[in-house]
Amino acid sequence: MSELFPRKQIMGFVFSLSLTAVALAVYFLHLSFAIGMFVLVVTAFAQALLQLVVFMHAGETKDKWIIYGKVYFMITVALVTILGTLLIFLWDM
Amino acid sequence: MKIDHSLPLEYSTKQNDQNIFGFWVFLAAEIMLFATLFTSYFTLEHRVGNGPSGSEIFEITPVLIETLVLLTSSFTIGLGIHAMRIGKQKAMLTFFAITLVLGLGFLGFEIDEFITYIHEGATLQTSAFTAILMMTLGTHGAHVTFGLFWGAGIVMQIKKRGLTPETTNKSFIFSLYWHFLDVVWIFIFSFIYLKGMM
Amino acid sequence: MDFLDRFAVPNPSIAIYASMVAIGLTVVAIFAGLTYFKKWGYLWREWLTTVDHKRIGIMYLISALIMLFRGGVDAIMMRAQLAVPDNKLMDAQHYNEVFSTHGVIMLLFMAMPFIFAFMNYLVPLQIGARDVAFPRLNALSFWLFFFGAMLLNISFVVGGSPDAGWTSYFPLAGNELSPSVGTNYYMFAIQISGLGSLMTGINMITTIIKMRAPSMTLMKMPMFTWSSLVTNLIIVTVFPVLTVALAMGSMDRLFGTHFFTTTNGGMDMLWANLFWVWGHPEVYILILPAFGLYSEIISTFAGRNLYGYKSMVASMVIISALSCLVWAHHFFTMGQGPTANSFFSITTMAISVPTGVKMFNWLFTLWKGKIRFTVPMLYSIGFIPLFVIGGMTGVMLAMSAADYQYHNTMFLVAHFHNVIIPGVVFAMLAGLTYYWPKMFGFMLNERIGKWAFWLLSIGFCLAFFPMYITGLDGQARRMYTYSEATGYGALNMVSFVGAGIMAISFAIIVYNVYYSVRYSPRNISADPWDARSLEWATHTPVPEYNFAITPNVASSQAFWDTKKKGHELFSGELEKIHMPNNSGVPFIMGAIFFVWGFSFIFSLWIPAIISTIAILVCLVLRSFEVDHGRYISVKEIEETEIKLRGVN
């Protein structure tokens, strides 16, 4: 039975639940907007990285660097698109 | 079909290896799809017209339940893939079944949430904010729905054909898809709900 | 009757009725011809169900040429309307429809399939592969593109053409100001073909990364393959943005949401933003494969290795990253502040640096080369100065303060035609001439081809350079006429003459095909141009499996090494070859998507639901299907090889 529950995945799950709990702090504690956003950005990206490495096995084949490169490139472009649009419409209009 | 026995079954043929790689490329495209929805959401977030704003309609309880259900399902499908790799077909099918049931539960809560919004006067046509909220949640929900049918199809194929290079390959790709939906949900949870209620 | 009214054309004219008759007669003629010559079975078995990348490439090519004709007719109509002041040839509505469809067709249904044609045909050959990574998905991509194009093309006889420009800016494209179904056609036709493009992107990236001949490292890939890899990376990055934007626009028009409206919080500028997040990288999607083709052609006919291979690759990668950083330069005048405009201004100007690097590399490749002035080479040499002019005016437009003067004038129209025609269209014509013998087994006539080149270049200069002047004088684009007092008349007449010369040169290209089919010698070798890269190392016509033995390459000029340095390309024993089976499902799915799009365009909900279910059923059937492909035996390969070698 225990072979069905590898340590790595259990630890991953526990860690992912803790990150959710930390993120909830922004709801229950009265943090400033800047600190709240900081907490959310850190927990969300940590959670994403956790899923990518532990559960999605992104690094298990020899295509490791191409897969990581592709995903990181996409995340960069995604952030550029989001921040660029906000620059145009909210911060500088 | 050449089968390389030194690799896990889902990577064992050339076509299998290509399928997994191609699916990673597809997931990269999905990142941009959801990023566009987030771009629009952040732009339209405060443009509520005569309708309600996020802090007026969001509730923490259903959202938290949905998050926990989806995180757990992401964990169980990970266990399912582990079971598949050590050749335990029965355990794998059990984990897949649990995953799909959790997915169904998630969808139930989400539909209930939508009905509540509509009762509170936040429909698709109310304002730019409600439209982009429902479209972002709806796109994620449609992915989950599609995943439920896809997963069910894979379970049926494994029951019929056992663990072959094809069925394990499909299962692994499905698990990538499911984990990805979990990641997207985390961003929805953080930057739509928690940010909106902060 | 109420039900049928919606299919009527809202603004009919004699030209539209005439084209209805023409379309009807063409369809009847095609059906009658296929039946009379008993070609239905051949068409279905050999083309409609094919998953062979070479045949799909040729189908893309034929579609692109047909769409070039359609878009070209639109162009001539526009120039004729503007040739003299206060012209009454077309009214404002008709003119709006013509420039909208001209843009959509030329970019999405002419240029895109043209580059996909070359990618499909060449990439597997250049990397020594037997097919693409997902052959059936490739067929599906083609049929989605094809039926998307058909959907847009029936718009002007059923229900009305899109008339809000190829950019379809809201609120103009909203229900209130564009009440006809035209903009629905725009949304769904592009959505369907866009899905196809996204699939091609995934397919090509996987093919290039995973299916290269084992000895071909990334830095030994031919330049066209490199450009395809970078292009498809951009496709996968930006097409999802278009998908979402179109979905939001469709929901505004069909379901009354308020994304881009001017009421209830909607924001029309968001459409322009999302459109250009996709739209700007899209122009690099078109130009990079063109750069790839020029690199192949210039190196072949200069008789030298491509100068600066590594810097060519690096500049393309930099262009691809920068292309996603510049989109706001399309709407400097929309109201955002100087910080945002300065940022996007600087990134835009930065793109000219890697592009300049590529220009110098081509010039250095030509330097001290033994240049052969063939038709493909003439197009490539013509491209360099003309494209530089277009690039320079691009830098002018990139300066956001100055852009307030140029914005929305003919200056801009001149600029983007100046980069797209010498950049993309010349490359496509050069590639067409260059690869024609590989595809069809005979060469196009050189003398007629040179006539076409010179007329096209002269016509191009006459048609577009005057627009720079009228644009700076203030002639606005998308206006259907102007008064005599403006003084634009003479230069617009020059443009019209130029457009006419371009039309003649396209007619000459068509005549060249006809002439060469009849008179061109068929006993040419597999390498008629004395070329350098791997696609020329196989037989002509290319056998189904491309290469009997997977080639062993030592550089990006593998075939040249074989000819000049005695490099052994093919060694080892023949083995049986695995090939994918043909399938009719992609064609059928494409047809269902056509019905799906049509039902949404006209808000026919029952067929919309039925076709949605039918699409899902196709996916389920595909998932449960067991198809391991088939094998070509060693004996069969030997027979084919002996037969093909006999021809050479």
pLDDT single digits (tens) C447-496: 999 999 999 999 999 999 999 999 999 999 999 999 999 999 999 999 99
CB atoms within 10 A of CB C334: 17
- B189 Cβ under 8 Å from any chain A Cβ: yes
- DSSP run (H or E) holding C193: helix C182-210
Judge whether residue C648 has pLDDT over 80: no
Judge whether residue C647 has pLDDT over 70: no
Record: contact A89-B43, CB cut-off 8 A: yes
Query: What's the token pair of residue A37?
Result: 């956003």
Rounded to the nearest 5°, which phi and psi values hold at B51? -90, 180
Classified as helix, coil or strand, C603 is coil
Domain ranges of chain B: 9-44+60-197
Query: What's the token pair of residue C423?
Result: 């950049």
Name the band, by pLDDT with cuts 50, 70 and 90, for residue A92.
Answer: confident
Record: contact B128-C267, CB cut-off 8 A: yes
Classified as helix, coil or strand, C460 is helix
pTM of the model: 0.95
Q: In whole angstroms, how far apart are CA A13 and each of A41, B70, B73, B181? A: 19, 12, 10, 16
Q: Predicted ipTM?
A: 0.94
- Averaged confidence pLDDT in chain C: 93
Distance CA B59, CA B133 (A): 14
Distance CA C295, CA B80 (A): 50
Name the band, by pLDDT with cuts 50, 70 and 90, for residue C565.
Answer: confident
Nearest-CA residue of chain A relative to B73?
A13
pLDDT tens digits along C498-549: 999 999 999 999 999 999 999 999 888 889 999 999 999 998 889 999 999 9
* Three-class secondary structure assignment of C464-506: HHHHHHHHHCCCECCCCCCCHHHCCHHHHHHHHHHHHHHHHHH
Nearest-CA residue of chain C relative to A69?
C233
Distance CA C461, CA C458 (A): 5
pLDDT at A4: 85
Query: What's the token pair of residue B135?
Result: 């479209």
Name the band, by pLDDT with cuts 50, 70 and 90, for residue C1.
Answer: low
Nearest-CA residue of chain C relative to B23?
C202
Record: contact A87-C340, CB cut-off 8 A: yes
Nearest to C265 among B26, B28, B47 (CB): B47
Distance CA C630, CA B124 (A): 50
Record: contact A71-B86, CB cut-off 8 A: no
The answer to whether the beta carbons of residues C384 and C291 sit under 8 Å apart is no
Query: What's the token pair of residue C86?
Result: 């206060």
Question: What percent of chain C has pLDDT above 70?
Answer: 99
Rounded to the nearest 5°, which phi and psi values hold at C476? -80, 150
Q: How many helices (H) and strands (E) does chain C have?
A: 22, 2
**Chain C environment of B158 (Cβ under 8 Å):** none
Average pLDDT over residues C436-443: 93
pLDDT at B1: 59
Name the band, by pLDDT with cuts 50, 70 and 90, for residue C72.
Answer: very high
Nearest to A20 among B67, B175, B180 (CB): B67
Judge whether residue A86 has pLDDT over 90: yes
Judge whether residue C382 has pLDDT over 90: yes
pLDDT at B153: 95
pLDDT tens digits along C185-208: 999 999 999 999 999 999 999 999
Q: Label residues C260-269 b or e (16+ Cβ within 10 Å = b).
A: bbeebbbbbb
CATH topology of domain B9-44+60-197: Four Helix Bundle (Hemerythrin (Met), subunit A) (1.20.120)
The answer to whether the beta carbons of residues B110 and B141 sit under 8 Å apart is yes
pLDDT at C164: 92
Rounded to the nearest 5°, which phi and psi values hold at C465? -65, -40
Nearest to A80 among C325, C336, C339 (CB): C325
List B residues 42-61 in contact with A (Cβ-Cβ < 8 A): 42-43, 60
pLDDT tens digits along C297-356: 999 999 999 999 999 999 999 999 999 999 999 999 998 999 999 999 999 999 999 999
pLDDT tens digits along C346-365: 999 999 999 999 999 999 99
- C215 Cβ contact partners less than 8 Å away, ≥ 6 residues apart: C551, C552, C553, C554
Query: Cis omega before residue C281 (within 30°)?
Result: no
DSSP class of residue A3 equals G
**Chain A environment of C336 (Cβ under 8 Å):** 87-89, 92-93
- DSSP run (H or E) holding C28: helix C14-36
List B residues 124-163 in contact with C (Cβ-Cβ < 8 A): 124-129, 131-132, 135, 149-150, 153-154, 157
pLDDT at C524: 87
pLDDT tens digits along B1-50: 577 777 888 888 888 999 999 999 999 999 999 999 999 999 999 999 88
Average pLDDT over residues C218-240: 95
- C308 exposed, middle or buried (CB, 10 Å; 0-12, 13-18, 19+)? middle
Average pLDDT over residues C580-608: 94
Which residue, C574, C545, C632, C527, is CA-closest to C128? C545
- C234 Cβ contact partners less than 8 Å away, ≥ 6 residues apart: C281, C284, C285, C288, C320, C323, C324
Residues of chain B with pLDDT under 70: 1
DSSP class of residue C409 equals B
Rounded to the nearest 5°, which phi and psi values hold at B48? -95, -5
pLDDT at B123: 92
